[in-house]
Structures are given as structure tokens and as C-alpha cells.
Structure 1
Amino acid sequence: MSINRRQLMTGVASGLAVSALPSLAHAADWPTKPVRIIVPYAAGGSADAVSRIFGQRLSQRIGQPVVVENRPGAGTIVGTDYASKQPPDGHTLVFSASGLPILPSSNKNFKLDLNKDLTPISEVVRGGFVVVSNPSMPFRTLPEMIAYAKRNPGKLSYGAAGLGTSVQLTGEYLKALTGTFMLCIPYAGSAPALAAVLSNEVNLFIDPVNTIKPHVESGRLVGLVQTSKQRSPSLPQVPTSAEVGMPNFDVTYWMGFHAPGGMAPDLARTISGHFAAIAQEPETRDRLIGMGFEIAGTTPEAFGKLVNDDQKRWAKLIQDAKLSFN
């Protein structure tokens, strides 16, 4: 059979076009080597602990080592940026938390597009914040605190674990919803901010349940409200925002995992399925609930929507409140 010149050139061009397409790793090809989980936080904190719990079980499920690699720095930018530049073949994952969708609006050094440079895998745990006060303050409920703040504009202060963090923006959101003015005092982390409210250096503090619990139970802090839809089993004596008449003050923090952008959807769903199954294992559930978390375990699509919704909400708040962090 003869082939004319036009047919030959068409075949060559088609071959070149196919070879130019990126080679995506799919679920059937994964894993072929050890998997890394990049944690953009220092070792020893809750992010590190959650990553190691899931990493250990993932390793047992897939028959490959899973190595947790801490790469802190620049408010999680160092580790997240590094992970985004790795091949999207499932052998590099990155721990992410509810501060991630704040970064595009709060930090000029964050250059990633969350929809293009990262692939959502799964939200694995979540929880609400608790607003607490020093017991020397003349209020014991959130409505009483709001009334006091309106009578004394600028007199109340709240401690935040850094500028541009989810806890700071939760405080700003509370101010916006209630029409009150409270001074934000940023600290270099949760521990010094907690110490400040315990000593009444600041009047209020906002942090996850697991940090707050022992101090509310001992009476050293007063629990005013939980920002989740349901009361945490770890702190059942503190009402939710809906119970005190503020259903819009619904703010949760979350932890999960992303992968580099461009991952094949079937591979993302496979890895997500492993994380969801791990989250439901009785031993894992008990450990995570004991740490004060609620169990999640979502699909890539649901996790991606959560991140996008959070990014829009915090961007609007930062713009409306004219907040500056740099």
C-alpha cells in the first residue's frame, strides 16, 4: 500500500501533537514509590500530628512508605509553594488548613492560584472556634459581651494568633456582624495569645476547642460561644452561635490535604477515598475526637467548593474592613 506525502505529514503531525500532551498519572499507576506529605508547619503542633496519623494509616493501606516532611516558613507559603511545584502524580501531597484560602487576600508574597496550582483531595477534620473571656470581665454570655462592647466602644481587646490568620478574621467577622469595635492584639502564635487572656492582658480570645477546653473547665476562662453549628462533645456547656441568636456567626476551621495542580481526577478521587476511609476507622476516629476534632472525609469536589467559598468570604471581609497585613 502506498502512502502519499500529505498522509505521511498528517501522521507525523498527529504523532507530535500526542507526544506534546502532558502525561498524567492515573489511579491504576499509583503508587509506584514512597509518598511524601509536605507539612508547611513546624513539627509538634496539631497540623503535624494529624498529618502523621493519616500518613501512617495511608502507608499501611497502599503498601508504600509515607514520609511526613515539615517545611515551615513565611506563614505556610514555603511548604505550600514547594509542594505545588512537584509532579501531580500522587507521590507528593501537602497538608492544608483553613488559613490557606485567606492567603491570596492577606499576603502579597503568596502567588499561587488555588484553583490551578493545587488540586483539592479531602477535608479530613474540622471544628469550631470558641470565644472566651477573662473571668474578671462583667459578662458571662455573648449577648452580654456585645452589649458591653457597644456601651464601651474600643475598650475591649481580643488576642489573635498572628495577623491574617483564621482566628483573627473570625474576630473581625464578629465585629462586622455585631457593629462593635474591639481592638485586635496579634501575638506570635496561640500559646502567647492564650497566656495574654489568662492574665487579662487582653479581654477576649478565640481559638479551637482543644486549646480552650481545659481552661473553661477549670474556670480560668469563660466560654461565651462556639462558632460551629453544633456544640462540641468536648465542650458541651458552651452554647453555639445559633443558640444565642447569631446563626450567621458560623465559622469552622478545617484541615485537609491538597496535591499539586493538574492531578488526574480519578487519582485525586482514589487518594481522597483512602483518607475518607481512614477518618472513619474506629481507632483513628477515637484519636481525632480525643484531640477535639470533628470527623470529615470529603470528596475532592466538596473540598474544592469549601476552599473557594472560604476564599470569597474572607476576601470580602478583608476588603470591607480595609484590613492590611503586610
Structure 2
Amino acid sequence: MNEDTRLSRRHALALLGGALTAGTALPSMAQPAAWPNKPIRMIVPYAAGGGTDVFARIVADGLGQRLGQTVIVDNRPGGNGMIGITAVQRAPADGYTLLFSLTSIIQNPLLYPNVGFDPFKDFVPVSEVGRQPIVFTVSNKLGVDTLEGFIKLAKASPGKYSYGSYGNGSSAHLYAEVLQDAAGIRLLHVPYKGETPAITDLLGGNVDAVFVSAKGVGQHVAAGKARSLAVVGTARAPLATTVPTFKELGFAGMDSVGWFGLYLPAGAAPEITKRLSTEVATVVQGADAAARIDAMGIIPVGSTPAQLTATMRADHERWRGVIQAKNIRLE
């Protein structure tokens, strides 16, 4: 072996020894920075100022404090929520884009042709954030104060009485379809672009009944301008504790409450999903946020990813049956 060869070997060994000495540093240089290390965007597929937006901002503020990063609410209204949902579907799965959505995420694919997303394949469920009970409320002009009384009127005059919902294909619309079959009545559906105009027309006597949130109609009921007869769900609504549930009154199929869910794009890291789920539960179950959420008529939840997935699948099957049986289709 000549001198040049020995020098080359010693040089190679020296380089190898240096690399081994620095071995503990090299892997860390290749690792991505700990999450989160920059602001997070929470897309809300509905307009600013509405109930969903207000709830999302409570959650975003709490998450920001827990994670040590700003959580920016980004409103993307339109298409019954599908514009915002699609934006998250197409976002990088790096944990910096969240979706704050409603039950419509599993209803829209059943209602619209070619929605372009699959709620079970294109998103990672993080947490069921809250639930919102819906109340069936009637106009004072009907002169009834019980669900039994309303059904008696409706049976006597099929198709005469109307109900307002917050949109074709909305949960309110679907609840009413279930009620009509269960009670053996026929009502005229009047869809609105949101619950506020539906409530306005109820008070004005233009529709006979509405399916809306307890928060939305509560002040009018308290003022004696309308009467709530029953609540969708398995428990009475926090803001309507004197109103019985449909289940209490003997009507099955009216126990699936609308919910709010938090999601990540498909492919998000399990450790980020788990961290977010834990932090969401801490936020919504904390005394300060829970009080604000309760005041909105929403029940704070804060579930695991598996629990949200189970809720999604159960409601997807439930509403699939109703939508197909009633041939409800939207364009």
C-alpha cells in the first residue's frame, strides 16, 4: 500500500469518525420542527357572525391558548358548506388547516350529485365539538299548546299547515319528514336561507311551524309570541328545559341531534390528531368556554376521533334511509 493510499484511508476514517461523533445531531437536523410552530387556519364553511362562526371562534380562541399559536378563523361560505369543505380537502395534511363543520358534511354527499368529496376518506375526524338541539315551534295563531294538539289539526286538514326549515335538505327538513311519517300527517315545506327568516315568518303568521334551534327561537317563546312543543334528541334542550323531547312523547326516529365536528385533511399525522382531540375536549369542557357555549344553546362535547367517526357513520346511514325514501335531491 503506497503512501497516497494510506493518506486516503486515514482521511476517510477521519470523516467517518466525525460523522459518528455528530450522529446525535444529524437526525435532529432532518426532523421537521415540532407542531405547531406557526399559526393554524380553521376554515368555517359558513358566513361570519352566524351561530356556527361564533361557536368556532370560541373553540379557536381556546385552542390558540392551549397550543401557543394563533388559530385564525377563515370563513368560506357557499354551496351549503361545500366550498369550505372542499378547501380543506385540498389543503396540505400538515396539521395547519382545520375544518369546523356541521352534520351537513355527511348529508351533502347524499343530497347532491358529484359533491367531489368523501367524508370518510378525505378527512380525519378529530372531535365532535358540540351538539345543538332543535325545537319544533308553532305559531300562536294555531291555538295549540301540545304536539298532540298540532297533530290533530294537521290530520284533519292534510297539506294545509306549513313548516319552515333553514333550507332544503337541512336537518330541519329531514326531521320534519320523519315526523310526518311517524304522526301520519302531511305538511307543506317552506325552505329558507337560514333559520332567522324562518322564525321571522313564523312570528308574522306566514308559516305555521318551524324546526329551529332553541337559541334562535327562545326569546320569542319566552315573550309568548310562539310556543315550542317538542325537542329533537334524547335529552331536553338546556335552553328549553320545560319542553319534552319527541321521544318522551312517543315518537321514534327523532333522537339524532345535529352536531359540530372538527377535522383534518386525510393523511394528517396521528399524533397531531390525538393532540388536537385532547385539546378540544379541554377547551369546550372548561368552565369559561362551556358557559359561553351553553348560552348559545349548544351542548359542549369534546369526543375522541373514534367517537366522532361512529356518530358520522350512524347518522350517515340514518339520513341515507330518509333521503332515499323521500327522493330528496339538490342541485
Q: Distance in 2 between matches of 1:233 and 1:116?
A: 34
Is residue 102 from structure 1 mapped to residue 86 from structure 2 by the alignment?
no
Q: Distance in 1 between matches of 2:319 and 2:247?
A: 21
Q: Indicate the residue corresponding to 2:14 in structure 1.
A: none
Q: Indicate the residue corresponding to 2:159 in structure 1.
A: 154
- Kept in 2, the 8 Å contact 1:27–1:267? The answer is no
Matched to 1:227, the amino acid is: V
Matches within 5 A, 1:1-326: 29-326=34-331
DSSP 3-state at the match of 2:80: coil
- Kept in 2, the 8 Å contact 1:177–1:249? The answer is no
Task: State percent identity of aligned pairs.
Answer: 35
- Kept in 1, the 8 Å contact 2:95–2:264? The answer is yes
Q: Indicate the residue corresponding to 1:20 in structure 2.
A: none
- Kept in 2, the 8 Å contact 1:116–1:262? The answer is no
| Deviating more after overlay: 202-211 vs 187-196 | 187-196
DSSP 3-state at the match of 1:60: helix
Matched to 1:236, the amino acid is: T
Matched to 1:321, the amino acid is: K
Matched to 1:297, the amino acid is: G
Deviation at 1:247, TM superposition (A): 4.1
Q: Distance in 1 between matches of 2:256 and 2:216?
A: 16
DSSP 3-state at the match of 1:76: helix
DSSP 3-state at the match of 2:140: coil
Which sections of structure 2, spanning at least 5 residues, go unmatched? 1-30
DSSP 3-state at the match of 1:279: helix
Deviation at 1:27, TM superposition (A): 11
- Kept in 2, the 8 Å contact 1:119–1:259? The answer is yes
CA shift in 2, pair 1:27/1:241, >3 Å: farther
- Kept in 1, the 8 Å contact 2:256–2:315? The answer is no
The TM-score, its normalising length taken from structure 1, stands at 0.88
CA shift in 2, pair 1:248/1:188, >3 Å: closer
Q: Residue by residue, what CA displacement relative to the aligned partner does 1:198-239 show, whole Å, maximum 9, x if unpaired?
A: 111110100111111111111111111011222223212211
| Deviating more after overlay: 141-150 vs 295-304 | 141-150
Q: Distance in 1 between matches of 2:300 and 2:120?
A: 25
Matched to 1:315, the amino acid is: R
Q: Distance in 1 between matches of 2:327 and 2:56?
A: 35
Deviation at 1:98, TM superposition (A): 1.5
The TM-score, its normalising length taken from structure 2, stands at 0.87
Larger Rg: 2
How many residue pairs were aligned? 301
Q: Distance in 2 between matches of 1:147 and 1:266?
A: 55
DSSP 3-state at the match of 1:136: helix
Q: Residue by residue, what CA displacement relative to the aligned partner does 1:10-62 show, whole Å, maximum 9, x if unpaired?
A: xxxxxxxxxxxxxxxx9994213211101111110111111111111111111
Matched to 1:313, the amino acid is: R
Which sections of structure 1, spanning at least 5 residues, go unmatched? 1-25
Q: Indicate the residue corresponding to 1:7 in structure 2.
A: none
Q: Indicate the residue corresponding to 1:19 in structure 2.
A: none
Deviation at 1:142, TM superposition (A): 1.1
Q: Distance in 2 between matches of 1:127 and 1:42?
A: 18
- Kept in 1, the 8 Å contact 2:123–2:265? The answer is yes
Q: Distance in 1 between matches of 2:330 and 2:161?
A: 21
Q: Residue by residue, what CA displacement relative to the aligned partner does 1:165-192 show, whole Å, maximum 9, x if unpaired?
A: 1111111121122222111011122111
Q: Distance in 2 between matches of 1:277 and 1:263?
A: 21
Deviation at 1:107, TM superposition (A): 1.7
Matched to 1:137, the amino acid is: L
DSSP 3-state at the match of 2:64: helix
- Kept in 2, the 8 Å contact 1:160–1:168? The answer is yes
Q: Distance in 1 between matches of 2:91 and 2:60?
A: 18
